[in-house]
Copies of this chain bind each other. A is one copy, B any other.
């Protein structure tokens, strides 16, 4: 199985309103709830691709119960979340029916107590021996040490399990130093990590800081991968319109599934780009459209990158 870690899981709630106008009252016409947090999204896409995926991290309160109830009903997904006293956060996406634009409200997440962090580490160590790969995803809730991901990268490496890290800020900086197999920053995260806004230069710098492979997601510019086996750029055939929510998580699922299937890097990247595009084009935020995926898998372009930096 593939293990995904989401320390700050969320109950993702989508509201549809006619048009959001500050300081007025709105009747919500449509409410959708689903388990969220980046690693949970990654696991859902992996399961849809036919992989067994196990979700760990923290869940608590009635919101935690709601996400666990929904995870239990998803085939090929195993819930290995660790219970905590605090309540799992909610995120609210308010979608304007008129413009299609989204306004996002994100709760901070529960305070994690030291004993809860210890219980998580025990669970993680129990799960690692049966994992073919692990993804460490998203922000840290209050109370989790800032070096958490560095610790989790080292533990995965000590078990010989390949590890992908997808986070930002100081947790990314420390995590990279622990030598993860892959990191997948976006342009902003990469610039924050390296100080450089030139993607190829920044990507190479991130490798020098410890990441074995760096796959930078450059929005409409597709993916830039710098790996021990070579450098590639991968992109969809045309610029896509739609909702980018979860597109990065789908790309992570593409990279991880390609890794455990031992696909060559260009095929992993084509899959990541195709899944990402199929998520942007899906009707529901964070889902992926299988037809678009199949089509994009044929039509994505992956080209070797020769420019010197």
Contact = CB atoms under 8 A, between A and B. Distances in A.
Given A31-B107, A62-B63, A20 B17 contact: no
A146 to B, nearest CB: 18
Contacts of A26: 103-106
Interface string A7-23: 00000000101001111
Contacts of A31: 107-108
Contacts of A102: 23
A1 interface: no
Contacts of A65: 62
A188 B60 CA distance: 43
A127 interface: no
A52 interface: no
Contacts of A25: 103-104, 106
Interface of A: 15, 17, 20-29, 31, 62-63, 65-66, 92, 94, 96, 99, 101-108
Contacts of A29: 108
B15 A101 contact: no
Contacts of A21: 22, 103
Contacts of A108: 27-29, 31
Contacts of A66: 62
Contacts of A15: 105, 107
Q: How many copies does the complex hold?
A: 2
B24 A107 contact: no
A102 B17 CA distance: 16
A105 B22 contact: no
Contacts of A104: 24-26
A27 to B, nearest CB: 6
Contacts of A24: 103-104
Given A15-B105, A27-B106, A28-B105, A96 B22 contact: yes
B20 A22 contact: yes
Nearest to A104: B25
A27 B90 CA distance: 11
A28 B107 contact: yes
B101 A22 contact: yes
14 contacts: A15-B105, A20-B22, A20-B103, A22-B101, A23-B96, A25-B104, A26-B104, A27-B108, A28-B106, A31-B108, A62-B63, A62-B66, A92-B92, A92-B105
Given A28-B108, A29-B108, A106-B28, A101 B23 contact: yes
Contacts of A17: 105
A101 B22 CA distance: 8
Given A28-B107, A31-B108, 19 more contacts: A15-B105, A20-B103, A21-B22, A21-B103, A24-B104, A25-B103, A25-B104, A26-B103, A26-B105, A26-B106, A27-B106, A27-B108, A28-B105, A29-B108, A31-B107, A62-B63, A62-B66, A92-B92, A92-B105
